[in-house]
Structure 1
Amino acid sequence: MARTIATNDRVDLDELLDFVRSRHHMVLMTTRRDGRPQASPVTGGVDEQGRIVISTYPERAKTANARRDPRVTVLVLSDDFGGAWVQVDGDCEVLDMPEAVDALVDYYRCISGEHPDWDEYRQAMREQGKSLLRVTPTRWGPVATGGFPARLADS
């Protein structure tokens, strides 16, 4: 059986955002008060301004960490765990109610499309007291896949 060769494709910002738009499984990395990383599996999307958006609650550790230190990292995974992935570093903005309502509508749209009742959705977001994290990409690695180094492809 042929071995799969690992890939690392450098991309510009537009290519990065195109890659991320179709992938919604992510791991958000924030920094705890003691400087150690906090990893949170999240669902996210890309808004019209090219920011990675993640719905959350104000009392979550990731939210408190992002408020204290807005430098975050998002690992964007493919639906297939063995598929392509990319690490994105960025600056995070936290939006709370009531400011978050319309941003949460945008979040829903970029992941799931149109909601059958936007008034109902907005009310549910208000009742839940949701927050939104918006990450502006500042640096990113190559879009990568796992596998063997090319030198081992024929071994």
Structure 2
Amino acid sequence: MLSTLRRDGSIQSSVVNAGVMAHPSTGDPVVALVAIGGARKLQHLRADPRTTVVARAGWQWVTVEGTAEIIGPDDADPGTDAEGLRLLLRAIFEAAGGTHDDWDTYDRVMREERRTAVLIAPTRIYSNPG
């Protein structure tokens, strides 16, 4: 579950597939996910990058609060060219537990849908005991 802030300060939450991986530039651990180009979550994160991700497995849960960095066709990163973005989107998909039988199709869909990488640098992490 990813929660972002709307312009009026209210919270918008959506279910996402995310994983933990090394930031492509710094190597620091981040929570990473891929969002479709026109998603509200991206609009919210562009306006205010503070976000919270909650993951659950059975009775265990973890919350990660942090700051989002957006890298995609509409959010250029000086260190990430088109090939770098293609590989980053694949890496995030795999970090979230995904596998694919046809990477060419995956890449084409990512381009067509203007898919964007969201990298969340943790500022606070907490979970239930156990």
Partner of 1:96: 72
User: C-alpha offsets along residues 12-65 of structure 1, whole Å, 9 cap, x if unaligned?
Assistant: xxxxxxxxxxxxxxx111100001111111111112331111111121111100
User: C-alpha offsets along residues 54-88 of structure 1, whole Å, 9 cap, x if unaligned?
Assistant: 1111211111001110111111111x3xx111111
Partner of 1:18: none
User: What is the letter of the counterpart of residue 38 of structure 2?
Assistant: E
User: What secondary structure, in the 3-state scheme, does the structure 1 residue paired with 2:53 have?
Assistant: strand
CA deviation after TM superposition for structure 1 residue 114, in Å: 5.2
Please report the TM-score for the alignment, with normalisation by the length of structure 1: 0.67
* 1:69 aligned onto 2:48: yes
Stretches of structure 2 lacking an aligned partner (at least 5 in a row): 24-28, 74-81
Partner of 2:94: 109
- C-alpha separation between the residues in 1 aligned to 2:116 and 2:98? 19
Aligned residues: 116
- C-alpha separation between the residues in 1 aligned to 2:13 and 2:97? 24
State whether residues 58 and 64 of structure 1, in contact with CA within 8 Å, keep that contact through their aligned partners in structure 2: no
Please report the TM-score for the alignment, with normalisation by the length of structure 2: 0.78
Q: Identity of paired residues, percent? A: 32
Stretches of structure 1 lacking an aligned partner (at least 5 in a row): 1-26, 147-155
- State which of 25, 31, 42 in structure 2 corresponds to 1:52: 31
* 1:84 aligned onto 2:54: no
- Determine which structure has more spread, i.e. the larger CA radius of gyration: 1
